[in-house]
């Protein structure tokens, strides 16, 4: 009897070990069907899922694909279901989506009140995209794999790297380029300012490297305008333009584009910028300091290089509660050649730690149509002063806000304090 029990236990242990070592089950997807698609092209949804018909996938693969679709700005949610296929062992993957409206906005209105004028407030966690881009516009899908957009956009760069601007942009995105699941967006934009310059181009190309990794390449050229100023009966040319080239590698398993509550986000972004400007200056005469200021022309040629590394982790503590932690490091090198001031070179190093807490006012069932959430965010950062004096300034910042994501867009309202 004892021997029989020992044999039975041995068999059970062996079976359990074999089950642990067994590969996860795989599902052969013979067809992908997109349901509830009214404006969004089903072909775009399938391409952005990075799944292909006639391939086998695990449950983890399907969960990753569902998260990828939920991160798309033109979808509120996506649900996956497997239905029987044409024969045993084959399945139809049904993707049920909830779309956003053709009109979209991403607005962050959180006045960050500084303790004094030496504190630099930080909006790098703003809703939108990298560099705190805000947007207001509309999107139309055309054909099977294309989309047009018209939007009012704003950008925020580190001041040592490039100049911020607002612009009206019109562009076209082609998804699933050459059947590779890559995409490309070509836009033309007009800067919003007095004496705005000519229309400028912008190109973004994204290439999927794996299920959760993407390489994005960008080219952004901006012309800020040409003008002539008449000062003391003398004409001075006023010009300014900049060009930015960069690439971003990202690893993303988060579940939403603007309000992630779980997953990991890591990115590495090297970029370079070139800018040229022509203006005039009022200066003291070196031969007669007591006379009125002289007016002289000045041209500046500047270039900068930047490397930014970011990492963030989001954890769901409950159906409604989520916390996050993140780290950002950046190095920016700046060089300028000025006719009047001569050559100068600076670099800036910054390190920022972030933490956040959020609580959803809605339950999981209602979140399929958006979210209404309360947030608390905090950051602690240090920043080097300049190339010659390697001193550092330390800054802290906290904010509280209410965030509402709906089919029309994402709005964040709140207030913060920096010291």
DSSP string, 286-333: SS-TTSPPEEEEEEEEEEEEEEEEEEEEEEESSSSEEEEEEEEEEEEE
| pLDDT tens column, 10-42 | 555 555 454 455 678 899 999 999 999 999 999
pLDDT at 336: 86
**Nearest residue to 383 via CA among 329, 305, 325:** 329
pLDDT in tens, 149-190: 999 988 878 767 888 888 999 999 999 998 899 999 999 999
Nearest of 304, 395, 416, 303 to residue 350 by alpha carbon:
395
The DSSP secondary-structure symbol of 16 reads: H
pLDDT for 380-402, tens place per residue? 888 775 544 445 677 888 999 99
Residue 121 pLDDT greater than 80, yes or no: no
Pairwise CA distance, residues 167 & 59, whole Å: 43
Per-residue pLDDT tens digits for 336-347: 888 777 788 888
pTM of the model as a whole: 0.82
- Percentage of the residues of the chain whose pLDDT score is greater than 70: 82
Assigned architecture for domain 17-99: Roll (3.10)
pLDDT of residue 116: 77
| DSSP code at position 232 | T
Domain ranges of the chain: 17-99, 103-122+196-418
What's the pLDDT tens digit per position in 212-250?
999 999 999 998 877 666 676 676 666 688 999 999 999
Looking at the predicted structure, is the pLDDT value of residue 210 above 50? yes
Q: Are 54 and 80 in contact (CB under 8 A)?
A: no
Q: Which two tokens stand for residue 248?
A: 């971003």
Q: What is the mean pLDDT of the chain?
A: 84
How do residues 340-379 score in pLDDT, each as one tens digit? 777 888 888 889 899 999 999 998 888 878 899 999 999 8
Q: Which of 263-277, 317-331, 392-406 has the lowest mean pLDDT?
A: 392-406
């Amino acid at each position: 009897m004892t021997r029989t029990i020992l044999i039975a236990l041995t068999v059970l242990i062996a079976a359990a070990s074999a089950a642990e070592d067994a590969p996860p089950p795989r599902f052969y997807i013979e067809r992908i069907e997109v349901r509830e698609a009214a404006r969004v092209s089903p072909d775009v949804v399938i391409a952005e899922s990075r799944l292909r018909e006639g391939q086998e996938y695990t449950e983890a693969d399907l969960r990753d694909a569902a998260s990828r679709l939920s991160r798309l700005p033109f979808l509120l949610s996506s649900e996956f279901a497997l239905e029987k296929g044409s024969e045993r062992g084959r399945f139809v993957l049904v993707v049920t989506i909830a779309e956003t409206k053709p009109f979209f906005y991403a607005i962050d209105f959180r006045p960050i009140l500084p303790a004094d004028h030496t504190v630099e407030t930080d909006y790098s966690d703003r809703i939108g995209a990298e560099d705190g881009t805000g947007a207001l516009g509309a999107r139309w899908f055309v054909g099977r794999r294309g989309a047009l957009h018209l939007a009012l956009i704003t950008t925020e760069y580190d001041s040592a790297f490039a100049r911020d601007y607002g612009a009206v942009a019109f562009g076209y995105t082609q998804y699933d380029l050459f059947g590779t699941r890559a995409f490309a967006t070509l836009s033309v934009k007009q800067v919003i300012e007095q004496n705005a310059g000519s229309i400028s181009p912008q190109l973004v190309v994204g290439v999927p490297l794996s299920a959760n990794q993407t390489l994005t390449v960008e080219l952004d050229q901006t012309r800020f305008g040409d003008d002539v100023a008449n000062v003391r009966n003398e004409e001075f040319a006023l010009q300014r333009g900049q060009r930015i080239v960069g690439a971003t590698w990202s690893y993303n398993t988060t579940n939403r584009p603007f309000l992630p509550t779980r997953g990991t986000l890591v990115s590495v972004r090297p970029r370079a910028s070139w800018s040229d400007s022509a203006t005039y200056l009022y200066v003291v005469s070196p031969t007669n300091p007591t006379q009125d200021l002289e007016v002289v022309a000045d041209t500046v040629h500047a270039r900068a290089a930047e490397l930014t590394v970011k990492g963030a982790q989001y954890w769901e503590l409950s159906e409604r509660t989520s916390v996050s932690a993140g780290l950002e490091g950046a190095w920016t090198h700046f060089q300028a050649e000025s006719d009047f001031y001569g050559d100068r070179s600076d670099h800036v190093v910054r390190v920022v730690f972030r933490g956040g807490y959020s609580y959803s006012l809605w339950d999981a069932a209602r979140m399929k149509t958006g979210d209404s959430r309360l947030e608390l965010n905090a950051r602690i950062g240090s920043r080097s002063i300049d190339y010659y004096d390697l001193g550092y300034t330390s800054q802290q910042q906290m904010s509280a806000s209410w965030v509402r994501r709906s089919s029309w867009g994402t709005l964040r309202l709140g207030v913060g304090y920096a010291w």
